[in-house]
A and B are shown apart, each in its own frame.
Chain A
């Protein structure tokens, strides 16, 4: 009974450690290092990495940029929301607010876009379904990432950060068309 008694040896530090533990610590350490190195490895060779590009912004400033894009590139309307088709490779904007993702984007498959995301009010969660890409959208910050949709079809942005009573109706759309 010594897990709750003082160690049997006054100098427990110099009691030799069993082989089994030494081997296990070695194996576990190697595994930990592999897991650690996987992250930088993926930055170099993987395709799904978040950029750390972000800017402080204000809801008004971001809204203005979104409105400019909508005015310039609107191609349609769905459920009262503009559908916007910005040029390939351009800066595209989507904002989260209580309780919608605005506007609807139409993108071309296999083309890169610089996607800017921000919130007008509280935290929101950008959860692109059914792809399952999830990002945290924070008011006052504009996140910029280069995204290349590699599937065509209809995609939904679910809000997956709690944002009040209407949280569950907060949906957005991204259409990806074959070019």
Chain B
């Protein structure tokens, strides 16, 4: 019999099984974030040429571990928690097949540990991408496969939970927008894992000698079918988190359900394309394939992101204006709760994702412009803006909400939590901007020594490149400090934070739920539809969110200018045909 508790602060209902699984997955995610962050510190302190911390072999080993732990393990553990939240909690339903969910969790843990052990042993420093024919130890691939199977089980539990909610009619009308976004993420995840299986299983068999040859070019195309779409799971997930947070913080409703849902639908239809982003300068691929694939078929997924970029802050603005913050263009934003890390984390994630991550991604994914960017340090700069700030910071902001709501603890060191989003995003932004600059000067990614010590021929990057990498190094250290602050606050809250419920025990944070007395077997009341607005504003003559529109136009202007600057830069390099 399913048991529920209601959170008195937020009104969310938690199914006991779902609650334990969410906690376990979120905590596991945070552990892998810790590993990823510490390894990241090693990476950036080595790329900062004046410091040049690690020897070459350790650097490549650390870089491999950093990428996998940050991009795969941290994010996907946390996303599984979000999937369970968006289905079971938001729809007030029991979780489907909790034993399967625990099996999935166990497989993910085993897989993640196995892969980390392989990297730690030192013979699998092949980078996250593990391009064949460079070969890692068999358990490197097997770990990833087990992890993916576990994640797939998590997705299936999510879909099953949706079916139960529908059968039991636990909600009125359609699923909430946040759940709709989570469905988008889960569908993309299934596609991603399928691509991963297609490439990783043969590669595993090759590593143990059952398959003789893996074609290096094919590997890249299919691997990126997984690698790129896995990042699109993050986009769909963190956009859903944005919508959730504006709802929780401001009581915001989507400006238009139709527009926001259509934008998610565009993600489902087109976002899995774009493996071509990574193979634009590979031999032999036709221009037609590259143009179609790299642009998500005419940039329809970019369109979707631009829509969310308007509607997320727009819905916040509408809600703020209804509360009377109507002065000028930006009173709604000025008087936002900037001291609340849930808000500041969300908003910085939105801004940095849009301005830095989004624009650079489209620019470098342009077929010809990629020639001047491929494999330079511009590339990691881009995806640190999208994933390390966009996704990670959104998840951090969500964590600050979950500490009281899910874990029933008061935030430990609230002043530190208050500053954390600012320190983290300031550091990361500094690092990103200067890595973008260094990449434009040709500095290579995944490279131990920009002095080329020991090379038979000589080459020197311009002095500016060194300065830029040094500033990026300072930014990176600051970013890691921000990450440490996040972990101090979260781990501290779970261990030392004041219990909000008497029955909460120490192990609560590690998946052991509240004392049974807090739960009831009664099915919660059916989730009602959102209240209708007294005055239906949609379709009225004026703009509901003029401030957001101005910001969106500013984004567009930056986008257009930067886009054509890069064409201009491309036009200056040697003619090729």
A-B contact pairs, 29 of them (CB 8 A): A2-B177, A6-B528, A8-B532, A9-B257, A17-B259, A18-B256, A19-B539, A21-B259, A25-B303, A36-B299, A39-B291, A43-B287, A47-B577, A48-B368, A49-B576, A51-B576, A51-B577, A52-B287, A81-B456, A123-B131, A132-B442, A134-B373, A138-B216, A138-B282, A139-B133, A148-B576, A160-B374, A162-B127, A167-B446
Closest residue of chain B to A156 (Cβ to Cβ) is B459
Per the 8 Å Cβ criterion, residues 137-163 of A in contact with B are 137-143, 145-151, 156, 158-163
Chain B residue with minimal CB distance to A172? B457
The yes or no answer to A78 lying at the interface (CB within 8 A) is: yes
Contact mask for chain A residues 1-39; partner B; CB cutoff 8 A; 1 contact, 0 none: 111111111101101111111001101110111011011
List 17 additional contacts besides A127-B444, A133-B371; criterion CB under 8 Å: A1-B252, A3-B254, A18-B255, A18-B544, A28-B303, A28-B307, A35-B366, A38-B567, A42-B368, A52-B287, A54-B283, A123-B216, A127-B375, A135-B371, A161-B131, A161-B375, A172-B457
Least Cβ–Cβ distance between A128 and chain B, in angstroms: 8
Tell me if B8 is interfacial: C-beta within 8 Å of chain A: no
Contact indicator B307/A24 (Cβ below 8 Å): yes
| From B127, B532, B573, contact of A132 by CB (8 A) | B573
Q: Which residue of the partner chain B has the closest CB to A135? A: B281
User: Which 10 pairs between the two chains have the least Cβ-Cβ distance?
Assistant: A2-B530, A3-B247, A54-B284, A32-B299, A143-B283, A16-B539, A2-B253, A160-B444, A54-B283, A6-B173
CB closest chain-B residue, reference A6? B173
Q: Shortest CB–CB separation between residue B469 and chain A, in angstroms?
A: 14
Chain B, 449-468, contact with A by CB distance < 8 Å: what is the 0/1 string?
Answer: 10011111111011000000
B311 proximal to A (CB < 8 A): yes
Residues of A within 8 A of B541 (CB): 19
Closest to A118 in B: B283
Q: A49-B576, A133-B372, A171-B459 are contacts. A17–B258 as well, Cβ < 8 Å?
A: yes
Is the C-beta of B315 less than 8 angstroms from some C-beta in chain A? yes
Whether A21 pairs with B176 at a CB distance below 8 angstroms is no
Cβ–Cβ < 8 Å partners of B573 in chain A: 48, 131-133
Q: Which B residues touch A150, using CB under 8 A?
A: 574-575
Q: Is the CB of A6 within 8 A of B171?
A: yes
| A176 CA to B445 CA, complexed, in Å | 26
Contact A141 B133 (CB under 8 A): no
Give the A-binding residues of B (Cβ under 8 A). Answer: 56-57, 60, 90, 127, 131, 133-134, 171-179, 215-217, 220, 243-244, 246-248, 251-259, 279-287, 291, 294-295, 298-300, 302-303, 306-307, 310-311, 314-315, 362, 366-368, 370-376, 440-442, 444-449, 452-459, 461-462, 527-533, 537-546, 549, 552, 556, 559-560, 563, 567, 570-571, 573-577
Q: In the bound complex, what is the Cα–Cα distance between A16 and B576 (angstroms)?
A: 50
Judged by a CB distance under 8 angstroms, whether A136 is at the interface is yes
* Cα A166 to Cα B254 with chains together (Å): 53
In the complex, what's the smallest C-beta–C-beta distance from B574 to chain A, in angstroms? 5
Q: Write the nearest CB–CB distance from A55 to chain B, whole angstroms.
A: 8
- Hey, which chain B residues are within 8 Å of A17, CB to CB? 256, 258-259, 538-539
In contact, A32 and B300 (Cβ under 8 angstroms)? yes
Tell me what chain B mostly uses at the interface: helix, strand, loop, or mixed: loop
For the complex formed, measure the closest distance between the CB of A164 and the CB atoms of chain B, giving whole angstroms.
7
Residues of A within 8 A of B (CB): 1-10, 12-13, 15-21, 24-25, 27-29, 31-33, 35-36, 38-40, 42-43, 46-54, 78-81, 100, 104, 117, 121-123, 125, 127-143, 145-151, 156, 158-165, 167-173
Residue contact B529 to A8, C-beta cutoff 8 Å: yes
- A146 with B576, Cβ < 8 A, contacts A47-B571, A122-B133, A160-B375 known: yes
Closest to A101 in B: B457
Residue of B nearest to A5 (CB): B530
A31 vs B291: C-alpha distance in the bound complex, in angstroms?
16
Instruction: Assess whether A133 is in contact with B446, with CB atoms less than 8 Å apart.
Output: no
- Determine whether the beta carbon of B303 is less than 8 Å from that of A168: no
Which of B295, B315, B371, B374 meets A39, CB within 8 Å? Answer: B295
CA distance A21 to B549 in the complex (A): 9
Q: Which residues of B contact A127 (CB under 8 A)?
A: 375-376, 442, 444
Taking the closest CB of chain B, its distance from the CB of A110, in whole angstroms, is: 9
Bound together, the chains give a CA A137 to CA B258 distance in angstroms of: 45
Q: How far is the CA of A167 from the CA of B169 in the complex (A)?
A: 59
Task: Tell me which residues across on chain A come within 8 A of B303, comparing CB atoms.
Answer: 25, 28-29, 32
Q: How far is the CB of B236 from chain A (nearest CB, A)?
A: 15
Bound Cα distance A38, B298 (Å): 11
Q: Which residues of B contact A50 (CB under 8 A)?
A: 280-281, 287, 368, 371, 576
Q: Is the CB of A136 within 8 A of B279?
A: yes
Chain A residues in 8 Å Cβ range of B366: 35, 38-39
Judging by beta carbons under 8 Å apart, are A161 and B283 in contact? no
Measured between beta carbons, the chain B residues less than 8 angstroms from A141 are 216-217, 283-284
Q: A156-B459, A168-B455 are in contact. Are A4 and B177 (CB under 8 A)?
A: yes
- Given that A16-B539, A29-B303 are known contacts, is A7 also in contact with B529, CB under 8 Å in the complex? yes
- Check if B576 sits within 8 Å of A80, measured CB to CB: no
Contact with A130, one of B131, B298, B442, B560 (Cβ below 8 angstroms): B442
Closest to B458 in A: A171
Closest residue on chain A to residue B279 by CB atoms: A136
Question: Please, which residue of chain A has its CB at the minimum distance from the CB of B460?
Answer: A156
Compute how far the CA of A163 lies from the CA of B57 in the bound complex, rounded to whole angstroms.
12
Contact A13 B281 (CB under 8 A): no
How close is A74's CB to chain B, nearest CB, in angstroms?
A: 17
Query: In the complex, what distance in Å separates the CA atom of A12 from the CA atom of B127?
Result: 46
Q: A80 CB to closest chain B CB, in angstroms?
A: 7
From B311, B442, B448, A21 is in contact (CB under 8 Å) with: B311
**Interchain CA distance A5-B131 in the complex, whole Å:** 44
Contacts of B283 in A (CB 8 A): 54, 117, 136-138, 141-143
B377 CB to closest chain A CB, in angstroms?
9
Closest to A57 in B: B283
B57 touches A165 (CB 8 A): yes
Q: Is the CB of B563 within 8 A of A35?
A: yes
Smallest CB–CB gap between B529 and chain A, Å? 5
